[in-house]
Chain A
Amino acid sequence: MGKYCASLGVLKGPWDQVFAAFWQRYPNPYSKHVLTEDIVHREVTADHKLLSRRLLTKTNRMPRWAERFFPANVAHSVYILEDSIVDPKNRTMTTFTWNINHARLMVVEERCVYRVNPENSNWTEVKREAWVSSSLFGVSRAVQEFGLARFKSNVTKSTKGFEYVLAKMQGEAPSKTLVETAKEATEKAKETALAATEKAKDLASKAATKKKQYV
């Protein structure tokens, strides 16, 4: 699952000024949460594109309820990588940004494409897409699956137990059949619970290593 959002915006400056400003963004009055900035990789390709990787550290601001739920995450800043391709020939820039820690709690990925605004060549259009996902979603599904499977196996035991006691009341000696049925029910219940645990494990590990589908 996960959340997706997209937007189209405009920066009121020509493409080359915008691309230059991109490298001089920090610090600014709106970036108090950005603690450090470093280029950790940079190269110019044969076809004159600039590839860069920027490492940012940002403060990890969470609402109080989240701090209570995830106390281990409170103390650590967030490390974020921003990969970018600047293509001056086509006057475009593409960036991809995501967090590389706190990932088990939540991953936010953002992809931006900057290009000359088709309506006004003195402006730059920014298409922004973001994906927010959490492997906690997979855990809650696994808990639900397990809960349902265990409940069903308990229903079987409950019914068989009831039938057994009823038969006794009606004077029938608990026949071999009934006792065997009770044994079968316990075996079947064990199998169902085991299958549910396997399925739950599978769901939880799928959620942890889930590859996102590109739409």
Chain B
Amino acid sequence: MNSVGEACTELKREYDQCFNRWFAEKFLKGESGGDPCGQLFKRYQLCVQKAIKEKDIPIEGLEFMGASKAKTENSS
């Protein structure tokens, strides 16, 4: 799948691979060990956040999970 920043697609793929492995083998099993994908994530984010700014995509200042509709019995 392509990234919104054309130059970031490769970095995204590398990060996704690392994340998917960590997610299934560690995170879901409750292991809270360090996230091994930190570096890859940083590199990917640097690229994609720049692309987002360049394309004027309005992702700033938006509350996580939206406002009222996200309230659920699960939210902490």
Chain A residues within 8 Å of B, Cβ to Cβ: 16, 19-20, 23-24, 26-27, 34-40, 42, 44-45, 47-51, 53, 55, 57, 79, 81, 83, 85-90, 92, 94, 96, 98, 100-101, 109, 111, 113, 129, 131, 211-214
Contacts and interface: CB of A to CB of B under 8 A. Distances in A.
B28 interface: yes
Given A23-B19, A38-B12, A113-B72, 16 more contacts: A16-B28, A20-B23, A23-B23, A38-B4, A39-B44, A40-B48, A40-B59, A42-B41, A50-B23, A57-B4, A83-B65, A85-B65, A88-B30, A96-B66, A96-B70, A98-B66
A36 B4 contact: yes
B65 to A, nearest CB: 5
B2 A36 contact: yes
B62 interface: yes
19 contacts: A19-B23, A20-B24, A26-B1, A35-B2, A36-B1, A36-B4, A37-B2, A40-B49, A44-B27, A55-B59, A88-B28, A88-B30, A98-B66, A100-B59, A101-B57, A109-B69, A129-B69, A212-B68, A214-B68
Contacts of B62: 81, 100
- Chain A at the B interface: SS class: strand
Interface string B40-76: 0100110011001000011100101111111110111
B75 to A, nearest CB: 8
A21 B63 CA distance: 26
Interface of B: 1-5, 8, 12, 15-16, 19-20, 23-24, 27-30, 32, 35, 41, 44-45, 48-49, 52, 57-59, 62, 64-72, 74-76
Nearest to A57: B4
Contacts of B15: 39
Contacts of A86: 27
A94 B35 CA distance: 22
A131 B70 CA distance: 12
B31 to A, nearest CB: 9
Greatest chain A CB density within 10 A among B24, B41, B64, B75 is at: B64
